[in-house]
Chain A
Amino acid sequence: MAEFLQILASGLTVGAIYALIGLGFSMIYNTSEVINFAQGEFVMIGGMVTVTLYAGGQIPLAVAALAAIGITALVGIAVERLAIEPAPQNNLTTLIIITLGVSITIRGLAEVVLGKNFYHLPAFSGDTPFDLAGAEVTPQAFWVIGSLIAVMLALAWFFNRTRLGKAMLATSQNRMAAELMGINVKMILRLSFALSALLGAIAGVLTAPITMTKYDVGVMLGLKGFCAAVIGGLGTATGALFGGLLLGVSEALAAGYISSSYKDAVAFIILLGVLFFLPEGLFGRARGERV
């Protein structure tokens, strides 16, 4: 039982990271229908910039983390402005390939500027684990899951209570009608990239103390976040949330009870299974409904 709880706790922690990354995929997909394969790089930038600014303790960790998250959001805006906006908007495949190019460019720059080393960030509240019914849970796990809850609440507030959030929903439901309302659709697209980058950076900062970080961590994390979003239903927040948690827990179970070498295969097996039986994902709506 304790072993199971241990696995569950680590699965939920990793799953929360996937969920944050998956939320970023869904947000950009909703406003632009683009699948942003540079999403993983936002995760990497969040972690790597925090490590660099923190520089072993010269700047308080919280300051370094917040600055890194802000910088990543600016990178998100730059990606939209410099790579997506100038491209022909009528060909989605082209736009998606552009995001792959952006991803490779960012990773290359990170390799040149920050090097190929692994970096470690100290856990936010130390490493002394809590005992939960026999399972040892690190304080960082609470940070991760607490942050996911905070992010979900903030997003719910933004989309249900603010005019800007509703304008973003309106744009994703009918871009032409949104323009007719006087909504600045270009600004909304940039905002969606900024928010996605911000979510990715939060994931990157949270996970750096757990898994270490490196210029290329974005590749696998981005892919897992993408799987989470698609499993849950691309374009839905609930989908990204449960897709991420399901994926994280499944991976932990596979690693714990079968073999850790199967861990990464789990994501793709679940993805294929879900897509086969539920092409719209677990919480997805029929494509037609999105308009």
Chain B
Amino acid sequence: MALLEVENLHAGYGRIEALHGISVTIEERALSALVGANGAGKTTLLRAISGLRPATRGTIRFADRDITRLQPSARVRLGIAQVPEGRQVFPGLSVEDNLAMGGYTRNFRDVAEGRERAFALFPMLKERRASAAGTLSGGQQQMLAIARALMSKPRLLLLDEPSMGLSPLLVAEVFRVIADLKASGVTIFLVEQNAQAALRIADRAYVIETGRTVLEGSGGALMADERVKSAYLGL
């Protein structure tokens, strides 16, 4: 069953349109990947799904509900969480408070439970629980950003270039976490510059160019596609 259906979506920044009619279908419990060059509109698409950028045309349906005009907070309550590009942790808040903010739409018991789950998933966060998030390393901040998004117990997790700027070791760690999350039943929409790694674990994948979908298929099919190979896999 499709959890998220984006249809003919147009969105942008003021008079600049960045998405010119994108359609994406994300199946429940699947891992869908989105690949595209810098400036193609990947971040804008995730922002539109979370409600940070208004859709100027088209519809977004989540769990059979039209959410095109909903406030961001309402979308979080329905179960959409995002790990934004560049981590965007709250630098002056402690690790623990960052997690609490992730659970802002949840009650205190859920927050306490979520925090324990986050500490089990990333023991490093437990050690640094009282540190200001701004003092964490880039990799630690990425783990915190993922843990923070999970605090709202999302049905759909949007990940915007989670491996960006990380060392190869940490990239592997991030992809392991993503695979674990998928196995635990979370639906994932993964935006990646690391097309190879993303397509390998993706059930379904989309390639966008300048705000339009140009290719879609299973992860394996796109990996074998000549155009994808030359443009995104450097083969």
Which residues of chain B are within 8 angstroms of A170 by Cβ–Cβ distance? 90, 93, 97, 101
Stretch touching chain A among B2-10, B81-89, B172-180, B204-212:
B81-89
Distance in angstroms from B45 CB to nearest chain A CB is: 15
Q: How many residues of A contact B (CB 8 A)?
A: 18
A163 to B51, CA, bound (A): 23
A167 contacts the other chain (CB 8 A): yes
Are B77 and A182 in contact, CB atoms less than 8 angstroms apart?
yes
Q: Which of A86-108 contact B (CB under 8 A)?
A: none
Once the chains are docked, how many angstroms separate the CA of A291 from the CA of B90? 9
B68 interface residue, CB < 8 Å from A?
no
Stretch at the interface among A15-23, A73-81, A171-179: A171-179
Q: Are A180 and B134 in contact (CB under 8 A)?
A: no
Within 223-265 of A, Cβ neighbours of B (below 8 Å) are at none
A266 contacts partner chain B, Cβ-Cβ < 8 Å: no
Who on chain A is nearest to B145 by CB? A177
Docked Cα-Cα span, A183 to B72, in Å, equals 8
Number of interface residues of B (CB under 8 A): 27
Contact A181 B102 (CB under 8 A): yes
CB-based nearest A residue for B50: A180
Segment 78-106 of B: residues with Cβ below 8 Å from A: 81-82, 84, 88-93, 97, 100-102, 104-105
Contacts of B82 in A (CB 8 A): 180
In the assembled complex, the CB of A170 is this many whole angstroms from the nearest CB of chain B, namely: 5
A173 near B92: Cβ-Cβ < 8 Å: yes
Do the beta carbons of A182 and B76 come within 8 Å of each other? Answer: yes
Q: Do B73 and A183 have beta carbons less than 8 Å apart? A: yes
Which residue of B93, B104, B134 is within 8 Å of A169 (Cβ)?
A: B93
CB distance from B154 to the nearest CB of A (A): 11
Q: Separation in Å of the B81 CB from the closest CB of chain A? A: 8
Task: Let me know if B105 and A173 touch, CB within 8 A.
Answer: no
The minimal Cβ–Cβ distance linking B13 to chain A, given in whole angstroms, is 10
- B76, B91, B97, B100: the one contacting A180 at CB < 8 Å is B76
Check if A167 sits within 8 Å of B88, measured CB to CB. no
Cβ of A116 within 8 Å of any chain B Cβ, yes or no, is: no
B111-169 interface (Cβ within 8 A of A): 134, 148-149, 152
Q: Which of A173, A176, A289, A291 lies in contact with B52, CB distance below 8 A?
A: A176
**8 further interface pairs, Cβ-Cβ under 8 Å (given A166-B93, A289-B91):** A166-B100, A166-B101, A167-B104, A174-B88, A174-B89, A178-B101, A179-B73, A180-B82
Residues of A within 8 A of B (CB): 163, 166-167, 169-170, 173-174, 176-184, 289, 291
